[in-house]
């Protein structure tokens, strides 16, 4: 398994972060007198980063704000979210045993997310997961972000992995597009935040629980 690597998305894949993401979103919406969004309504807005999350919520609530106001909401969001990043966010069931099994089989593990790198590390630190990953790369780590294939390929390189022995694990169309563009097989999870059912995105393997991940990896890499 030398240099074989599994690269994970973060929000909606490794960790159920929606409760804290949406709580902070509602705080910034309230600051402008805009009605809150429900967790169920808002989970499909997650995945492209914080500013797109705010912008998508404004569209959903049919509110148009000037760029300076959106900038201020973005700044407010960052300050509050950093302080409350793991109030309610938790790893998905079965994650840690699956990571243990993969690491024990010799796989390198990494994270490639459209969350900012510093916030990603802060979240994983709070959950005691950071040391499991050879690289944690966010939307600001490289000049490009997902779905650009270089975001994934450079994450693999930073972690010391081999792109010909790599798998992407994610919950969204962005993850599938990234993996396809990088010519890397992709395992989709069906418990994330995508507005399009993962089965419709046709990943190479589809899992509904992390206890299925080691077998899916074995199926793809042998």
Domain spans of the chain, in order of start = 5-16+89-221, 18-83
Whole-number pLDDT of residue 141: 98
**Predicted pLDDT of residue 65:** 87
Mean pLDDT of the chain: 94
- Please classify residue 20 by burial: count the beta carbons closer than 10 Å to its beta carbon, then call 0-12 exposed, 13-18 middle and 19+ buried: buried
CATH 3.30.950.10 fits 5-16+89-221, yes or no: no
State residue 1's pLDDT score.
62
**Beta carbons of 174 and 152 less than 8 angstroms apart:** no
- Residue 95 is predicted with a pLDDT of 98
Per-residue model confidence (pLDDT) at position 107: 97
Residues 44-94 have pLDDT tens digits of: 787 677 888 899 888 888 888 888 999 999 999 999 999 999 999 999 999
Q: What is the pLDDT of residue 88?
A: 95
pTM for the complete prediction?
Answer: 0.92
Domains 5-16+89-221 and 18-83 share a fold: no
Q: What is the arithmetic mean of pLDDT over 173-198?
A: 95
What b/e sequence results for 32-43 when a residue is b if at least 16 CB atoms lie within 10 Å of its CB, and e otherwise? eebebbeeeebb
Catalytic (active site) residue 9: yes
**Reduced 3-state DSSP string for 50-87:** HHHHHHHHHHHCCCCCCHHHHHHHHHHHHHHHHHCCCC
User: Spelled out in words, what is the top-level CATH class assigned to the domain 18-83?
Assistant: mainly alpha
Q: What DSSP assignment string belongs to 203-222?
A: -SEEESSGGGHHHHHHHHH-
């Amino acid at each position: 398994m030398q240099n074989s690597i599994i690269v994970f998305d973060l929000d909606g894949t490794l960790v159920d972060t929606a409760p804290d993401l949406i709580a902070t979103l509602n705080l910034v919406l309230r600051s402008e007198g805009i009605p809150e969004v429900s967790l169920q309504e808002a989970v499909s807005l997650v995945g492209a980063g914080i500013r797109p999350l705010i912008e998508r919520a404004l569209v959903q609530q049919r509110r148009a704000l000037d760029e300076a106001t959106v900038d201020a909401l973005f700044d407010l969001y960052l300050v509050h979210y950093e302080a409350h990043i793991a109030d309610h966010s938790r790893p998905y069931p079965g994650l840690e045993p699956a990571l243990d099994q993969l690491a024990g089989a010799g796989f390198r593990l990494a994270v490639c997310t459209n969350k900012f790198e510093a916030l990603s590390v802060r979240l994983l630190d709070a959950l005691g997961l950071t040391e499991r990953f050879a690289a944690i790369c966010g939307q600001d780590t490289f000049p490009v972000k997902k779905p650009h294939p270089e975001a994934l390929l450079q994450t693999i390189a930073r972690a010391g992995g081999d792109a010909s022995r790599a798998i992407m694990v994610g919950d969204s169309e962005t993850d599938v597009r990234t993996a396809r563009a990088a010519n890397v097989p992709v395992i989709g999870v069906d418990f994330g935040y995508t507005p399009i059912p993962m089965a419709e995105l046709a990943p190479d393997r589809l899992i509904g629980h992390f206890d299925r991940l080691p077998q899916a990896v074995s199926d793809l890499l042998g």
